[in-house]
Amino acid sequence: MNERHLRVAKVCKSYGRQRALVDVSLTFAPGQVAAIVGPNGAGKTTLLGILSTLAKPTSGEILLADQPFIRDPAARRTIGYVGHEPGVYPDLSARQNLRIFASLYALTDAETRITAMLERVDLADVRSDLPARAYSRGMLQRLALARALLHGPKILLFDEPSSALDPVGVRWLSEELLRERDAGSLVILVTHDLDAAAQVAGHLVVIRRGRVAMDRTEPSGFSATQVRALYEEALRDR
């Protein structure tokens, strides 16, 4: 029932006078991709920050399988995060980067997993001494995904991962998201790109001015037109 559901319970987040999130309540289910969309400054990134346990809500809580999902190492082990910055060390190569993260997460058979992951993201053929600094944007994003997935997280958080990616890159990313979804992970994607959202989402959330303006689940997915229509409706002043 509620096992492994990630629940946001009446979360508010304020920075002094500014209220970034107001009374946000949502439930995310595993085996599904949830797309969070909304205008700039709506609070999507703030929400993701709280879901990743790096930020604390001013009030309300996050629950995983009905247990409080708080800042502790155990919770962080279950999360994989990809933002618009790749979150890797530019002076190290892909393999060296992954080795560091493997030891941070205390992974057994690190080398095997790293090799497998590099093959999965198609970075296995890159010169082994090339620092990440020299990679193209697309390569960096692939490395970011490898980093995020290396420790086998069951909750994946993506913040505008396809900004600055070319159409090929965007498509590849969508495929990876669906692959993780099919493996039973809980995937949450924050994006501007309504078409990309339509490609992958089974759960659509529209955030507007810090509040949930639309929360719709469609197991068979949404079409691009549907997403646009729902988005317009959510943003319409009532």
Partner 1 sequence: MSPMPTETRSTSPKLLATCAITAILFVIACKAIADAPREITMGLVQKIFYFHVPCAWLLMLSTLVCAGGSVAYLFGGSERGDRVAVASSELGVVFGLCVLVSGPLWAKAAWGVYWQWEARLTSSLLLWLMLVAYVLARRYGGAAARRLAAALALFAAIDIPLVYFSVRFFRSIHPSNTVVSTLVPGMRGAFWLSLLAFTALWWVLFSTRMATENAYARLVDLEILLDQAEEKNA
Partner 2 sequence: MTGSPHPSFWRYTALIAIKDLRIEGRSREVLYTMGFSAALVVLVFSFALASATDPAQGPITAAGVLWAATLFTGTVALARVLDRERENESIRSLLLSPAPRAAIYAGKLIATSTLMLAVEILLTVLVGVLFSAGVFAHLGWLALVLVLGTLGFASTGVVFSAALLRSRSREALLGALLFPIVIPVLLAASRATACLFDPLSPDLEPVAFWTRFLLATDVIYIALGLWVFEPVVSGE
Q: Segment 65-124, which members bind partner 2 (CB under 8 A)?
A: 71, 73-74, 76-77, 79, 81, 83, 85-92, 100-101, 103-108
List 25, 54, 130, 183, residue binding partner 2 (CB under 8 A): 54
236 is an interface residue for partner 1 by CB under 8 A: no
Of 31 and 221, nearer to partner 2 (C-beta) is: 31
Tokens found for residue 151 = 């420790």
Q: Segment 5-34, which members bind partner 1 (CB under 8 A)?
A: 14, 16-17, 19, 22
> What CA–CA distances, in Å, run from 116 to 40, 112, 137, 185, 221?
37, 6, 21, 19, 30
User: How far apart, in whole angstroms, are the C-alpha atoms of residue 173 and residue 121?
Assistant: 10
Q: Which of 140, 139, 157, 135 has the alpha carbon at shortest distance from 148? A: 157
CB 200 within 8 A of CB 35: yes
Q: Segment 117-156, which members bind partner 2 (CB under 8 A)?
A: 131-132, 140, 147, 151-152
User: How far apart, in whole angstroms, are the C-alpha atoms of residue 171 and residue 110?
Assistant: 29
Q: Which of 29, 25, 37 has the alpha carbon at shortest distance from 199? A: 37
> Residues in the site for partner 2, rule: CB under 8 A?
15, 49, 52, 54-56, 71, 73-74, 76-77, 79, 81, 83, 85-92, 100-101, 103-108, 131-132, 140, 147, 151-152
Binding site for partner 1 (CB under 8 A): 14, 16-17, 19, 22, 56, 238
